[in-house]
Structure 1
Amino acid sequence: MAIKEGLRPGGRSARVQESIHTAVRELLEEQERSTLTVPQIATRAGVTPSTIYRRWGDLATLLADVALAHMRPDSEPASTGSLHSDLRAWAEQYLDEMSSEPGRNMMRDVQCSATPGYCASILGGQLQIILDRYQDQAGQLPSIDRLLNLIVAPTVFRILFCATPLQVQELHELIEIALQP
């Protein structure tokens, strides 16, 4: 079942969704994710399990929806005064957040979602904000695809498929490569 987008903000549906998301986040803080069940979430949220199944279909889709909601940035990337340092600050924060155990779990949950391209559009939007700050400066700016391919993709690959995440020095080297014409 696809994750529902475009719900009316502030309506009953939004309140139910928020109570369920809150229940998931709280339960994940209290117990192992492998022991989490839809009935537990429903009880905590004050809804019936059928409400969850009707809206999300299964636990994996619900966890993906909670993860996707958490991935939406709360604020714009830091403005440090230069494209190079803005990208470093953003990439270091992304690496730090996503290589944590909650970050890794969130990435795994998002992999189960039925929303291809969603994460790339969120990350691309953050990178576009950074690039837009420096549109008037001399020199050619890298494309969003170049930044995603040379900075984000190796970071995500190492977080998900390797025993250790990318080292900060390696991340800095990738940023240097991405900024080359």
Structure 2
Amino acid sequence: MAIKEGLRPGGRSARVQESIHSAVRELLEEQERSTVTVPQVAARAGVTPSTIYRRWGDLSALLADVALARMRPDSEPAKTGNLRGDLRAWAEQYLDEMSSEPGRNMMRDVQSSATPGYCVSILSGQLQTILDRYPNEPKPSVDRLINMAVAPTVFRILFASTALEVEELHRLIDIALAP
């Protein structure tokens, strides 16, 4: 089931959504994710379970929505003064955040329930912001950066026993920047 968008950006609907998201985040900090239930979330948020089912359909869609909200950037990517430095700083932060246990869980939640392409659009926007800072420099496309640096990073985080090493991530960025 696709995650439903809210009808209004503010008001009661936004307050209810934030209350439910907060309840999910708190419960995930207190207990194993496999033990979290819709009735627990509803009780913590002060709503009925039907409110959650009506908006999200099931627990996995709710977990994905909470994960997506946490994945949206709070600010622009760091500025180091050059394209390579900006890309490295962004990629290192992404690797650090997503290779943590909460990051891996967020990725799994999103993978299981989110609208296809949503994560790519978030990442593309961040990378495009970096590329736009350097209009006079030759630079790769966003797709090349995703294919050369982000995809291997995500693959290793989700499917390998260890995350990508920072030095290897730097090499992948250098390859992506090569003409």
Partner residue of 1:174? Answer: 172
Partner residue of 1:63? Answer: 63
Q: Which runs of 4+ in 1 moved over 3 A?
A: none
Q: Distance in 2 between matches of 1:175 and 1:27?
A: 37
Q: Distance in 2 between matches of 1:6 and 1:135?
A: 36
Partner residue of 2:94? Answer: 94
Determine helix, strand or coil for the equivalent of 2:163.
Answer: coil
Q: Distance in 1 between matches of 2:157 and 2:174?
A: 20
Partner residue of 2:148? Answer: 150
Partner residue of 1:141? Answer: 139
Show structure 1 runs of 5+ residues with no match.
Answer: none
The 5-angstrom pairing of residues 29-178 of structure 1 reads 29-137=29-137, 140-178=138-176
TM-score w.r.t. structure 2 length?
0.98
Show structure 2 runs of 5+ residues with no match.
Answer: none
Residue 156 of structure 2 aligns with an amino acid whose one-letter code is: R
TM-score w.r.t. structure 1 length?
0.97
How many angstroms does 1:11 deviate by?
Answer: 1.6
Determine helix, strand or coil for the equivalent of 2:21.
Answer: helix
Q: Structure 1's 87 and 159: CA in aligned 2 closer, same or farther, altered over 3 A?
A: same
Identity score, percent: 82
Residue 161 of structure 1 aligns with an amino acid whose one-letter code is: F
